[in-house]
A and B are shown apart, each in its own frame.
Chain A
C-alpha cells in the first residue's frame, strides 16, 4: 500500500473517495433493509379480492343478512317504510357525526353497512329481525353499548362516528356487489 505521489498531492480527493464509499455502502444497506421489510407486505395470493356478490332475493322487509368477505362482515338490511321515515327524520337532529340518510344509501329500501363499530371494532347487532337493535331501532354494539339509528348513524354511546358505508353497487334489482364501485 505504498503512498503514491497522487495521494499526497490531492488530499481532498482522498476524502471524496472515502465518503463516497461510505455513502455507497449505506445505500446498499438501506436498500437491503427496504427489501426485507417489503417481504412483510401482503403476499401475491392475498393481494386484491375482497369483493362479494349478495343476492337480495328472499330478504324480508325489516330484516337483513350478514355477508362475510374474508374476515370482514357487511350488513345488507331491507328497511321498512317506518324505518326509512325514522331515518329521514333523524337528518334534522343534532348528530355527533352529521350525515343525511340520502348520503348513506343508494336506494332507500336497502341499507348496506360495514359491520364494524368505529369505537373499537366489534360487530354491531341488529341486521336480522329479532336481534337487539337498541333505543333507535337500528344497530346495537354489545361491546360498549353504542346505539345506531336506522341509517346506521351513532346516536348514543362511545362510537365517535357512524357505521361506515362500504363501496357497493346494484348489479341488478336482485343483486348487489360489495367491495367495489360499478
Chain B
C-alpha cells in the first residue's frame, strides 16, 4: 500500500502521513487487506497473544524499576533479588498486582500461543504459501521459552536457582565446546551473581527482540494472507472482509473473555500455576524434585527420559546428550513442519485420518507435560479431581511397569513420529473429503 495516497482528511495527519507513511500503512492494513470472512473463534488467539506481549512488556518495565539483580544475602539469609521481589509485593503501591499480572501473565501468554499454534496445526496454516509465517512463529515460541526461563530465575528462590543450575548444565552436553559455553553463560564455575545479572539484562532485552519478530510475523501474514477454517484460498470479494471493524470487535470480545479468566486467576489463584517452594529464597541446595514452569514441561520431559547411552559403531552418545539432542530436536522439528506434511489439503476438517492423529498429538503433549512433572522412576499416574488414576504399578524385584520414564519414552516416540512418519506418509495415502468451491459457496464443487 506504500504507493497509495494518504487516506486522511485532517491536514495535520495528512501532512505527517505524506512525510512518513506509517499511518496509512496501519490504515490500509486495517481497512483494505482481504481477510477471510469465515474465521472462527480459534483465530482470536493471535491478537490475544499480541496483547499479552504488550501486557508483559509494560508490567515488566515497571517491575524493572524496583528489581535488584543481586545474590547478596542479609542477616536473615534472604538474598537481595528475592527481597526486591517481595519489596515489590509489599511496599510498592499496587506492586502485588503488578508482580502477579506479570507472573500469571507469562502463563496466559503461553496459553494464548499454545492455542494459536494448535489451531495452525489443525487447519494447516503452516502450508504453502505460509511457511515463513510458521517458521517465524516457531522463532517466537523459542524466544518466549528462553525469556520465561530467564524471568523465572530472577526471583532467586529455591526453584529459580535449581532451574538456572540444571538448564545451564544442559549445555555441557555439547561436545568439545560445552564446558566453555557453560563458563560463558554463568560467568564463572558456579551459578552466582554474574549469572543473575546477565539473566536480568537478557530478560529485559529479549522481549523487544521478540516484539521485532512479532512485527515480521504480522508483515508476513499481511503478505500471504490469513488461512481459514476451510483451508481454501480466497476466490472473490464475496469471500472477504476487512480486518476493521469485523475482526476488531470480534477480537475485543475474545480478548475480554480471555482477560476475565486471566484477571480472576490474578485475584484468587495467583500462585496456583507456580511452584510453591520458589516463594522461599534459595539456600543453594537443590530440592529433590525439580520441575520447570508448566509450559516448559513437555520439553523438559523429552530432555529427561533418555537415561541410556547410544553406541553407533563405536561413537558413543551419552544419555545426557541424547536428551539434550531430543529436546533441541523437538523444537527444531517444528521448523520443518511445512515441508514434512505432504497432504495437498490444508484444513483438518477435510482430513478424517489426520484428525485422529492430530488429537493424538495434543494428547501426547498433555501426557508429556505430566511426565515432565512426575518422578522418572515411579509409577506414572493421571491426576484427576477425584484422585490419581495409576497407569503403572510396582512389579516384582523393584521393577516398575508403566513408570513415568517408560510412558515418557513412548510419547516422545509419538511426538517425533507425528512429524517424521505420520504426516509425510498420511499425505500420500489419506483420501481427503471433497473441498468446497469457495468460502461463500459451501456447496461442494
A–B contact (CB under 8 angstroms) = yes
Q: Which residues of A line the B interface, CB within 8 A?
A: 18, 21, 25, 35-36, 38-41, 43-45
Contacts of B62 in A (CB 8 A): 36, 39-40
Contacts of B252 in A (CB 8 A): 21, 25
Q: Are the C-beta atoms of B58 and A39 separated by less than 8 Å?
A: no
Q: Are the C-beta atoms of A36 and B98 separated by less than 8 Å?
A: yes
Q: Are the C-beta atoms of A45 and B91 separated by less than 8 Å?
A: yes
Q: How far is the CB of A57 from chain B (nearest CB, A)?
A: 34
* In the assembled complex, B3 has its CB within 8 A of some CB on chain A: no
Q: Are the C-beta atoms of B92 and A39 separated by less than 8 Å?
A: yes
**What are the 4 A-B residue pairs with the smallest beta carbon separation, nearest first?**
A43-B91, A44-B91, A45-B91, A39-B62
Q: Are the C-beta atoms of A39 and B249 separated by less than 8 Å?
A: no
Q: Known pairs A39-B94, A44-B91; list 14 more (Cβ under 8 Å).
A: A18-B249, A21-B249, A25-B252, A35-B98, A36-B58, A39-B65, A39-B98, A40-B65, A41-B93, A43-B87, A43-B91, A43-B93, A44-B93, A45-B87
Q: Which residues of B line the A interface, CB within 8 A?
A: 58-59, 62, 65-66, 87, 90-95, 97-98, 249, 252, 256
Q: How far is the CB of A91 from chain B (nearest CB, A)?
A: 46
- Cross-chain pairs A/B with CB under 8 angstroms, 23 sampled: A18-B249, A21-B249, A35-B97, A36-B59, A36-B62, A38-B93, A38-B94, A39-B62, A39-B92, A39-B93, A39-B94, A39-B95, A40-B62, A40-B65, A43-B87, A43-B91, A43-B92, A43-B93, A43-B95, A44-B90, A44-B92, A45-B87, A45-B91
Contacts of B98 in A (CB 8 A): 35-36, 39
Q: How far is the CB of A127 from chain B (nearest CB, A)?
A: 35
Instruction: For the complex, give the distance between the alpha carbons of A12 and B274 in Å.
Output: 48
Contacts of B95 in A (CB 8 A): 39, 43
Instruction: For the complex, give the distance between the alpha carbons of A96 and B252 in Å.
Output: 61
Q: How far is the CB of B106 from chain A (nearest CB, A)?
A: 17
Contacts of B59 in A (CB 8 A): 36
Instruction: For the complex, give the distance between the alpha carbons of A43 and B62 in Å.
Output: 13
Instruction: For the complex, give the distance between the alpha carbons of A98 and B266 in Å.
Output: 58
Contacts of A35 in B (CB 8 A): 94, 97-98
Task: Give the nearest-CB partner of A21 in chain B.
Answer: B252
Task: Give the nearest-CB partner of B250 in chain A.
Answer: A1
Instruction: For the complex, give the distance between the alpha carbons of A83 and B384 in Å.
Output: 86
Instruction: For the complex, give the distance between the alpha carbons of A18 and B244 in Å.
Output: 13
Instruction: For the complex, give the distance between the alpha carbons of A123 and B98 in Å.
Output: 38
Contacts of A41 in B (CB 8 A): 93
Instruction: For the complex, give the distance between the alpha carbons of A43 and B92 in Å.
Output: 5
Q: How far is the CB of B250 from chain A (nearest CB, A)?
A: 9
Residue among B59, B92, B97 facing the most chain A CB atoms (10 A cut-off): B92
Contacts of B97 in A (CB 8 A): 35
Task: Give the nearest-CB partner of A25 in chain B.
Answer: B252
Instruction: For the complex, give the distance between the alpha carbons of A131 and B442 in Å.
Output: 93
Instruction: For the complex, give the distance between the alpha carbons of A88 and B290 in Å.
Output: 76
Task: Give the nearest-CB partner of A35 in chain B.
Answer: B94
